Amino acid sequence: MNLHQKLVEIRKEIDVFSKDTKGFNYSYVSGSQVLGKIQEKMNELGVILYPEMKELEHSTFDYQQYNKKTQQMDDKTDFVISGDMQYVWQNAENPEEKIVIDWNIYGQQDDISKAYGSALTYSERYFLLKFFNAPTDDDDPDTRQGASKRGTGGKASAKQLDFIDNLMGKKVNEKFNKQQVYELLKKRIKVTTDMENWTPAQASQAIKFLQGDGK
């Protein structure tokens, strides 16, 4: 078989992935589950997959995060990795036969090594899921950006809440700390419950206000 035919055979091993890992209020498909589905067939057919790194950049992102224990704003720094890479499928029986696919890599963590590791892990999982058009048992496999199960229960999704938290951080100044911004926001949208209990409509209203579109 040529490489394309072998990849079709590998694709046949994939049925439906289950969201077997949890984190940050999301359930998602783990990378080990994806590899476990196809690795045996890859070995059987002699198909190799490897990454080739191209242009990579790293930067830092400084921000403040509210500390509930001290009731103060803590200075935080995250490391951001981004750049271009390629995934290469290779036929071990005919090493000259390759399929090269351009891909992007992104990662953000409080340690630069973890940021790089996260970027590699996430990109590999995404690549395999999308390359093989793999179905999952829910919407999107990402821990932070996927559809949260919270959103189906009448509460705002974690994605909305993360966005609100980011917008509030941008409103912090010498006059208002983040907790004061938060309390003012609750008054403006006329809620008394904590943010994690807001409805999608209340979260949307908060976002509009913080972006300057609310009344």
Delimit the domains of the chain by residue range: 3-147, 151-215
The mean per-residue pLDDT over the stretch 197-203 comes to 87
In percent, the amount of the chain with pLDDT more than 70 equals: 80
How confident is the model at residue 212, as a pLDDT?
A: 76
Instruction: Enumerate the β-bridge partners of residue 96.
Output: none
Q: What span, in angstroms and rounded, lies between the C-alpha atoms of 41 and 14?
A: 11
Place of tokens 């001290």: 70
How confident is the model at residue 139, as a pLDDT?
A: 41
Q: What span, in angstroms and rounded, lies between the C-alpha atoms of 46 and 123?
A: 23
How confident is the model at residue 130, as a pLDDT?
A: 85
Is the pLDDT assigned to residue 44 strictly greater than 90?
Answer: yes
Q: What span, in angstroms and rounded, lies between the C-alpha atoms of 25 and 13?
A: 30
How confident is the model at residue 135, as a pLDDT?
A: 64
Q: What span, in angstroms and rounded, lies between the C-alpha atoms of 44 and 11?
A: 13
Is the pLDDT assigned to residue 28 strictly greater than 60?
Answer: no
Cβ neighbour number for residue 155 with a 10 Å cutoff? 19
Kindly indicate the confidence band of residue 31, based on its pLDDT and cuts at 50, 70 and 90: low
Is the pLDDT assigned to residue 208 strictly greater than 70?
Answer: yes
Residue 95 zone, left/alpha/beta (φ > 0; ψ -120 to 50; rest): alpha
Residue 80 zone, left/alpha/beta (φ > 0; ψ -120 to 50; rest): beta
Listed range (85-99, 107-121, 132-146) with the worst mean pLDDT: 132-146
Kindly indicate the confidence band of residue 8, based on its pLDDT and cuts at 50, 70 and 90: very high
How confident is the model at residue 17, as a pLDDT?
A: 52
How confident is the model at residue 179, as a pLDDT?
A: 86
Q: What span, in angstroms and rounded, lies between the C-alpha atoms of 31 and 175?
A: 45
How confident is the model at residue 143, as a pLDDT?
A: 40
Mean pLDDT of the chain: 80
Buried b vs exposed e over 186-203: b needs ≥16 C-beta within 10 Å? beebebeeebeebeeebb
